[in-house]
Amino acid sequence: MYKAGIAGASGYTGYELLKLIHRHPQLEVGWLTSESSAGGVYSDLYPVDWDYPLISLEDGLARVGEVDVVFLCLPHAASMQAVKSFYDTGILAIDLSADFRLADPAIYTRWYGLEHTAQELLQVARYGLCELYREQIRGGQLIAVPGCYPTSVNLGLYPLAKAGWLGERVIVDSKSGVSGAGRKPKLDYHFVEANENITPYSVGYRHRHVAEMEQVLNSANGTAHQTRFLFTPHLLPVNRGILSTIYVDVPAGVTEDEIRGLYTESYDGEPFIHLIPAGKQASLGHTVHTNRCAIAITPADPSRPNGTEYIVTASLDNLIKGASGQALQNFNIVKGLDETAGLL
């Protein structure tokens, strides 16, 4: 039996991870950290009867020898040094923050407005988008779990990107449930502000997650071709779930059957990819409370069977496939376990 430490267990992704670990046949809880609730027990935080003690991050580090893996569910910037401290002990570190997702520190600084203070680890971090990078993940000691929005967009577009069929510009319209912002209270996420409302934010080329789309999709084809991603996220008044609606232009002459063939081939046998049949769309209902990503592709104009405009819809649960589920999927891959353990 493996044991897990969770740094930042009091937040939403930590809570979700704990629920998943309880379902995992080969993983159990070692210790859990919270700075604000250290000294208390887990049932103080959520409506559960789990009386795990909560300890500080510093105490977690001192007790690293008791666990086989540390999942870090901390905000970016705070995670950077914590990851380094754990990594230096030789433990497997699975980081849910953005701190080790971008390979180039200059790109990290451009989007996050911070100097990266553990740049040497960017060389060893593996980007944990399981369906695309399984082989690299297998030998990893530091896994950077991808962001929630980019997981939906990158899985939704990868077959087209790999074929070199993404044009100059792709427009991505995404919506996320409120848990995507974490548990810490903030006015925008107050019930009265978010409920019965829908608000775009960081419109166009402003949101940090654009960098992950560029990193994955602009390297998929092995050419210098660069697609520009115009990305507008929206806050949706639901607890959880992401839906991305993506507008693409494929090269003239490419048929719908060829496109469907690419998706079928790319995701053949993938337990967590749900390709939606022609004529239907991915919805939150396809994926919330699961580790799946649902993907649909549809020609934009039914009167132009050979048209170049397509709409991809992709959905996932931001707390599971977009965070804690994918973190656990990475753990299963690194340890050579059944990749679906704890996740079906």
Ligand X SMILES: NC(=O)c1ccc[n+]([C@@H]2O[C@H](COP(=O)([O-])OP(=O)(O)OC[C@H]3O[C@@H](n4cnc5c(N)ncnc54)[C@H](OP(=O)(O)O)[C@@H]3O)[C@@H](O)[C@H]2O)c1
Residues that bind ligand X (CB under 6 A): 8, 10-14, 34-37, 57, 73-76, 78, 96-97, 147-148, 179-180, 182-184, 318-319, 322-323
For the CB of residue 188, give the shortest distance to ligand X in the complex, in Å. 14
Q: What residues act catalytically?
A: 148
Q: Give the DSSP H/E element, type plus range, for residue 22.
A: helix 12-22
In sequence order, what DSSP letters do the residues of 164-190 get, joined into one string? Answer: T---SEEEEEEEE-GGGG-SS--GGGS
233 neighbors 176 (Cβ within 8 angstroms): yes
Structure tokens at 297: 């592709």
CA angle 219, 313, 173 (to 5 degrees): 80
Residue nearest to ligand X (CB): 11
Q: Whose Cβ is closer to ligand X: residue 98's or residue 161's?
A: 98
CA distance 142 to 121: 8
- Give me the sheet containing 309-316, strands edge to edge: 199-200, 228-235, 169-176, 242-249, 309-316, 293-299, 273-275
For the CB of residue 47, give the shortest distance to ligand X in the complex, in Å. 16
Q: Whose Cβ is closer to ligand X: residue 31's or residue 165's?
A: 31
For the CB of residue 74, give the shortest distance to ligand X in the complex, in Å. 4
CA distance 72 to 173: 29
169 neighbors 228 (Cβ within 8 angstroms): yes
CA angle 268, 273, 279 (to 5 degrees): 95
Q: Whose Cβ is closer to ligand X: residue 152's or residue 266's?
A: 152
Q: Whose Cβ is closer to ligand X: residue 94's or residue 262's?
A: 94
Whose structure tokens read 């971008």?
Answer: 102
Q: Whose Cβ is closer to ligand X: residue 242's or residue 275's?
A: 242
